Structure 1
């Protein structure tokens, strides 16, 4: 029966995603797909039908976090210019992206620009969503002259991903990631000014 198959498929998807969220939180981006399948009570083929690549699974696990970061970018973009400088608004959002990447295991891997496992039609949907959301913040900062005009949101995401991955096993990953990000941000403004 087609209707019951779709309902079964939806239940399987939800069960796999719930297990994957727990496993990625515990094990990081390298969580075992076979273990996820066993724990969800489905075959590994079912996992692969719903999530054809590890990246697809990581993107699904990270979707809510990405949506929250995109909403925050829109909120900051909508704030009146008198409430906060464009550089401060961009930096506040980027600080939140760094904090999410460090605290949410697997998010940095989902944002990475490695084409292996990326959807050939849509590319990296997590990174694309953040690029679109952060674009207005970045353009406003560049227009105000507090950010080099050649800096892109993709550049910033790549920088954040690198920092998050490099500090993942540090004894204090959040503090170290924030420190490294602050060092990097100092070079983003015109003539080395703060972004």
Structure 2
């Protein structure tokens, strides 16, 4: 009987996760846990047993995307232009956050527990070599961290989620952040916006 319970629990987990992915994509990070339970055909207590917090659910939903972004960071390390490699990766993180409402929430830091996000920790590990190489090459300020950049992205995507065209607005704000608000360009150590 215990083996059957474990198999049932695994099936419930997979069903909850699949439904949660659809609900978060459709309704954002505040998707109803009760609706997720109902559509998955389980009780709310079962959802909470597998995912004790909303953050745990959002991180599970974002897991595959986070892994893909980690792989992509590794691929971009092979690019000759460290600035373009970093900006390409950051642009892809922005696009993922806009396309999947829960990713920005999963990355967001809790004021009570800074850096307590598994998604953010995984992305920081993956992107750290990109940022360090760009800093070494003088195309990003020495004191910029991956955590700074992820916080900026979370802010941009959260602020634009209700915009009529969130993807275009998030991209615009990301490019503005990269360029800075000053018309001065070419400063040593500054990240310049790409022509694309």
Fold shared per TM-score above 0.5: yes
State the partner residue of 2:125: 132
Q: TM-score if structure 1 supplies the norm length?
A: 0.91
Per-residue deviation, residues 49-103 of structure 1 (Å, max 9, x unmatched)? 10000000001111111111111001111x1xxx531111001100100111111
2:170 corresponding residue in structure 1: 177
Structure 1 segments unaligned to the other structure (5+ residues) = none
1:80-159 alignment runs, 5 A limit = 83-115=79-111, 123-159=116-152
Partner residue in 1 for 2:183: none
Q: 1:160 to 1:190 in 2, by over 3 A?
A: farther
For 2:38, the equivalent position in structure 1 comes to 38
User: Which whole-Å CA distance do the structure 2 matches of 1:40 and 1:178 have between them?
Assistant: 34
Q: Is this contact kept in 1: 2:15–2:40, CA < 8 A?
A: yes
Q: Give me the CA root mean square deviation.
A: 1.9
Q: Structure 2: state its 5+ residue gaps.
A: 181-186
Q: In 2 relative to 1, CA 27–35 (structure 1 residues): closer, same or farther, beyond 3 Å? A: same
- Which position in structure 2 is the counterpart of 1:75? 75
Aligned twin of 1:12 = 12
Paired with 1:153 and 1:29, the residues of 2 have a C-alpha distance of: 23
Q: Deviations over 1:92-151 (max 9, x none)?
A: 1001001111111111111101256x7x9x921100110000000000000011110100
Task: Return structure 1 stretches of 4+ with deviation > 6 angstroms.
Answer: none
Is residue 110–residue 116 contact of structure 2 (8 Å, CA) maintained in 1? no
Match of 1:194 in 2: 192
Distance 1:129 1:98 in 2: 16
Q: What is the CA–CA distance in structure 2 between the aligned matches of 1:44 and 1:85, rounded to whole Å?
A: 49
